[in-house]
Amino acid sequence: MNWVIIIVGALLTVVGGVWTLQGIGVLPGSVMSGVTFWAIVGPFVAAVGLGLLGWAIARQRRSRS
């Protein structure tokens, strides 16, 4: 179960980063490029992903002790 949370957290972090870069126009070539909505939503998605990663890793370390 913990690995699933780690994978989901990593995917959300990467997707949020890509959305942010597309929203601010760094990654062109998409309908999402240059759209402010994605520049706002992307960091929130990435933050949720990082939170899940941190929680799953801390949970895994506690279970090993």
Q: Dump pLDDT digits (tens) for 16-39.
A: 999 999 999 999 988 999 999 999
* Whether the predicted pLDDT of 8 surpasses 80: yes
Please give the structure tokens belonging to residue 50. 């990082």
Task: Please give the pLDDT value at position 64.
Answer: 79
Q: pTM for the full model?
A: 0.89
24 or 64, greater pLDDT: 24
Give the integer Cα–Cα distance in Å for 39 and 1.
Answer: 31
Mean pLDDT of the chain: 94
Residue range of the domain that includes 59: 2-64
Q: What percent of the chain has pLDDT over 70?
A: 98
Give the integer Cα–Cα distance in Å for 28 and 50.
Answer: 25
* Whether the predicted pLDDT of 7 surpasses 90: yes
In total, how many domains does the chain have? Answer: 1
